Every structure is written in C-alpha cells, then in structure tokens.
Amino acid sequence: MAGVWRYCFLILIFGIPMHTYAAVVQGANCVKEEPCFDLNVLANMAERVSKDVTAADGEKILLKHRSFDKIGKRKNLHSCVLEKIINLFEDVLDRTKGNYVHNKEEINHHLELIHIMEQLKKCLYKTKDECKKLFKKSDITTTSSLIPEKNMSPNQLAVLQLQKLKSASKKLDDVHIQEMVMDELKSLHLYMKGKGFQKKTND
C-alpha cells in the first residue's frame, strides 16, 4: 500500500509518466484503473442517432432520475437493472437500424451505438446470482399502486423498473414503444452513473 501512495506522490510532484503500473491519478486519489467507458461518447452518439426523434407521449419506460438514484446507490441492484436496460435499448437499436441513413457521414452512428451497448455490458458488476433472484422477484411480485414512487425502497424501485422494461420488451414491434425508447436514449448516459457502473476487478 505504501508503494502505491509513493507512486501517486511521484506523479503528483514530478509528473513522471509511468505506464508499467496500471494506475492513474484523478484529483488527489490514486485509482487502479481508468474508467471502464467514457459516458460522454455514449451521450454524443445517442444525440446523433435520436436527434430527429420526437419526444414520446405517455408514461416513460425509465424511472425518474430521483427514483433511479436510489437504485444507483446499491451496486448489485444497479448493475442488474442496467443489464436489462441495456438489453432493451440494444434490441430497439437493432430493430430500427434500417430506418436511419448515414450517407453523408463517415460513421454509421446507429451501428456504432449497438457496439457501444455491448461494451457497456462489460462494465457492469458481475452479479449473476443476485440478478437471477431479482429477476425472479420481479416476475412474481405485484407492485402496489398504493405506494407512491417517492416512498419506495431501492428494492421496490428496482422491481418496478424491471417490470416496466419487461412490459416494453413485449411490445417492441409497436412503433410507439420504439420511438419512446429512442427518445429516452438521449438521457441513457445519466442512468449509468453510480457504483454499479464499474467492472469488478477482484475475481
């Protein structure tokens, strides 16, 4: 541990580029790895792909940010829910890829975004067993409409989000659902922030 701090001290003082040890300095902290994925890339690519999509009416598929933030504070819940969110968006991108023309651009941003979805999955915590339990719970649990969303626990919110995703997944041939997903794609990067969006390194 002392060696790590000594390494960080050398970088801070002398700015010596040492690449033999996989550490980077962020502020005053010594971090073992660089961020798994630059979410600015996701945001910019999503904006290019969805810029012409009209905001969809009706109930949103993704929870409000203040509700989702509660899920984000629980890394296992967050990674399991993100897995399903990424799957849904990837499915819609795949279904709609023929609707977008990129003749005037060097990069097909639509296809590139599909590849990004695969990269995002690799950044999630590996919580296979926990996810199975949560997915099963969301299948058998009936979310009570008597509990306001703002009063729900992180577990209840995770179940609610999974149920909304499952409902949308069953209607992917519906153009309205496709448009809703493409519209929400613009803010998807905001849901990635949190403890769950990091690759687990202590395997």
DSSP 8-class letter at 123: T
pLDDT tens track for 162-192: 999 999 999 999 988 998 999 999 999 999 8
pLDDT of residue 124: 86
| 57/81: higher pLDDT | 81
Q: What is the mean pLDDT of residues 8-24?
A: 39
Cβ-based neighbours of 160, under 8 Å, separated by 6 or more: 63, 143, 149, 152
| 11/112: higher pLDDT | 112
pLDDT tens track for 65-76: 999 999 999 988
Stretch (H or E) spanning 25:
strand 24-26
165: left (phi over 0), alpha (psi -120 to 50) or beta: alpha
Map tokens 């023929």 to a residue: 98
Q: What is the mean pLDDT of residues 47-63?
A: 81
Dihedral over Cα of 128, 131, 135, 136: its sign: positive
Q: What is the mean pLDDT of residues 134-155?
A: 85
pLDDT of residue 14: 42
Q: Look up the pTM and report it.
A: 0.76
Q: What is the mean pLDDT of residues 40-54?
A: 84
pLDDT tens track for 87-111: 999 999 999 886 655 556 667 788 8
Mean pLDDT of the chain: 78
